[in-house]
Amino acid sequence: MPLHILPKALTALIDDFGSLPGVGARTAERYAYAVLRRNPKSAKQLAQSLDRLHDRVKTCPKTFALIDASEEISPLYADKSRNKQLVCVVEEPLDIVALERTGQFTGTYHVLGGVISPIDGIGPEQLHIPELIDRIKSDDVQEVIIATNASVEGESTALFLQRYIQEAGLTITVSRLARGIPVGVDLEYADQITLTHALEGRKQL
Amino acid sequence: MPLHILPKALTALIDDFGSLPGVGARTAERYAYAVLRRNPKSAKQLAQSLDRLHDRVKTCPKTFALIDASEEISPLYADKSRNKQLVCVVEEPLDIVALERTGQFTGTYHVLGGVISPIDGIGPEQLHIPELIDRIKSDDVQEVIIATNASVEGESTALFLQRYIQEAGLTITVSRLARGIPVGVDLEYADQITLTHALEGRKQL
């Protein structure tokens, strides 16, 4: 049996940290050692946050955003100042955070819970698409903004959604987030497809 | 009061993850969401690992390596096959892991617990230097390999240690890890100082 170089409790924590996305062995070691060097209270606090997480978070039955277990419905939906006739469709709950940071959107959100991806065995039936159609009908939605990612899967999901809404006989506006050159990026570094989108979507000054 | 976008339990976890070294807001969000999406058992396991950490890990009183709370002394020191007359001095406990991975070192270790850094208010008296001198005497140490980092602080700590050992009247070999070109690195990318070291330390073939 080889000697153990590190204490078992530390090795266990390194293994657990290593299971987080994008965390390799060295990074996991660094995190575990950082936790060990800080006072025990902050380790216990992180432990408690993790322990409580699943019990205290649930999914909103209407928008599929993440909400407190004590809440009935997403506060971003329940809030009277939000326009329920304008729905922004996102892939994942964290996308809402990114959009809310802009402070520019006053509508409501609908989380698909992923994108159509045949390779991963994810078809439209696994996404919250029927619930979106229900919302469009019950809330008299006027516009759906499709804010899926600019990936291949995100694009095809957007296309699918657009057709699905049409075929459901709903005559509402369906829009997609603009594609173009991000702020602060030089033209020479922009890729062909982004530039093509930027040309097509040009605005008259 | 602004609406909370994410559930409180998730925000708390994101804040806690954000306190790990090199983890920004986006990365912390990604970790927290990854934990939430996995089954609750793995979150509880990570919680348990964190909760136990400080109670189950202690410092070896001889080598200052990290050991199980149930152990008296570092197994790397206690092991009979390790040469106690050869001591490798490192800054931090994790440096031992890196050296043990080579499988080439059969001596023992001594952890300084940092480096001399006047800016951070760390003087030689805060490092485990007196204990090293005691070991050199009691274990009849023949060689001390100084394996501090190749940083300014690491170099000056090495220099300090060398003089300290001399002034203590100990006539033992004091060596330093070789500096040179790392494996797989092109000459043109090596910095001046590294190349200077590589020239000085050249080996006859």
pLDDT in tens, A37-76: 998 999 999 999 999 999 999 999 999 999 999 999 999 9
- ipTM score assigned to the predicted complex: 0.84
Is the pLDDT at A141 greater than 90? The verdict is yes
Is the pLDDT at A19 greater than 90? The verdict is yes
Hey, which residues 83-142 in chain A have their CB within 8 Å of chain B?
A: 92-94, 96-97, 100
Contact B35, B46 (CB under 8 A): yes
Is the pLDDT at A200 greater than 90? The verdict is no
Higher-pLDDT residue of A190, A17: A17
**What's the pLDDT at B197?**
87
**Distance from the A202 Cα atom to the nearest Cα atom in chain B, whole angstroms:** 31
Contact A23, B27 (CB under 8 A): no
CB contact under 8 A, A35 and B20: yes
- Letter for the amino acid at B142? Q
With CA atoms as reference, report the closest residue to A150 among A197, A96, A86, A200.
A197
Please tell me the class of the A73-176 domain: alpha beta
**What's the pLDDT at A3?**
59
3-state SS string over A92-108?
A: CHHHHHHHHHHCCCCEE
Pick out chain B residues at pLDDT < 70. 1-3
Cβ neighbours of A9 in B, within 8 Å: 49, 52-53, 55-57, 68-69
- A122, β-bridge pairs: A117
Chain B CB within 8 Å of residue A53 CB: yes
**What's the pLDDT at B3?**
59
**Alpha-carbon gap, residue A1 to A112, rounded angstroms:** 50
What mean pLDDT, rounded, does chain A reach?
92
CB contact under 8 A, B36 and A66: yes
Relative to beta strand A66-68, strand A107-111 is unpaired
Is the pLDDT at A130 greater than 50? The verdict is yes
CB contact under 8 A, B29 and A5: no
**What's the pLDDT at B1?**
38
Residue of B20, B50, B63 to mutate, testing the A interface (most A Cβ within 10 Å of its Cβ): B50
Is the pLDDT at A181 greater than 80? The verdict is yes
User: Chain A residue with minimal CA distance to B38?
Assistant: A54
**Going along A18-160, which residue ranges are E strands?**
57-59, 66-68, 83-90, 107-111, 143-146
Chain B CB within 8 Å of residue A3 CB: yes
User: Chain B residue with minimal CA distance to A4?
Assistant: B75
Residues 6 or more apart in contact with residue B12 via CB below 8 angstroms: A49
Least CB-CB distance to A12: which of B16, B27, B49? B49
Cβ neighbours of B4 in A, within 8 Å: 75
pLDDT in tens, B12-59: 999 999 999 999 999 999 999 999 999 899 999 999 999 999 999 999
User: Chain A residue with minimal CA distance to B49?
Assistant: A13
- The tokens for A153 are 């899967």
CB contact under 8 A, B43 and A51: yes
**Distance from the B23 Cα atom to the nearest Cα atom in chain A, whole angstroms:** 9
Contact A87, A65 (CB under 8 A): no
Cβ neighbours of B79 in A, within 8 Å: 3
Give the mean pLDDT of A172-193: 88
Chain A CB within 8 Å of residue B30 CB: yes
**Alpha-carbon gap, residue B16 to A40, rounded angstroms:** 13
CB contact under 8 A, B54 and A40: yes
pTM of this prediction exceeds 0.90:
no
Cβ neighbours of B29 in A, within 8 Å: 94, 97
Least CB-CB distance to A46: which of B9, B45, B50? B50
**Distance from the B66 Cα atom to the nearest Cα atom in chain A, whole angstroms:** 6
CATH number of B79-176: 3.40.1360.10
